[in-house]
Amino acid sequence: MSTEELLRRCLRGEEAAIQQLFERYKDYVFRVTWLMLGDQQDAEDATQETFEAVFRALHGYRGDAAFESWLHQIALNRCRSKLRRKQLVRIPWLKVVEEPADHTLGAQPEALALAHEERREILGAVRALPVRLRE
């Protein structure tokens, strides 16, 4: 079933369509929220809040943009709200970059030192970006 048809059925209040829309997009929304928040519980909460907002505002979706774009924007707005409430900005993938995976067994010390220096430079460059560009 197309997304447009699914949305029409959701607007009519069909429970099966609402469930299907959620199932179709829940993993996508979770990935967006996890990348923004870096915490599984926060991402799960933001995912739930995103879908609550979507279903409350669905009657206002005009179709000017793709549904996925509209959904993505709502998810980002939920994340921004959570981050403002916490008064901090987390960038989860920076943690991954900061912590090398298992120190690549057998790697030469010189190669490890170069990799560490490269990670440090990348982190510095990313942290220098305005928050809006880190998204």
Per-residue pLDDT of the chain (135 residues; tens, 9 = 90+): 898 999 999 999 999 999 999 999 999 999 999 998 888 999 999 999 999 999 999 989 888 889 999 999 999 999 999 888 876 555 555 555 444 444 554 557 777 777 778 877 876 776 677 666 665
The structure tokens listed for 79 are: 């994340």
Domain-wise residue ranges, the chain = 3-86, 92-134
The structure tokens listed for 21 are: 């829309």
Total residue count of the chain as it appears in this document: 135
Q: Which pTM does this prediction carry?
A: 0.63
**Sequence-distant (≥ 6) Cβ neighbours of residue 6 within 8 angstroms:** 17, 20, 21, 24
pLDDT of 1: 86
Q: Which CATH class is domain 3-86?
A: mainly alpha
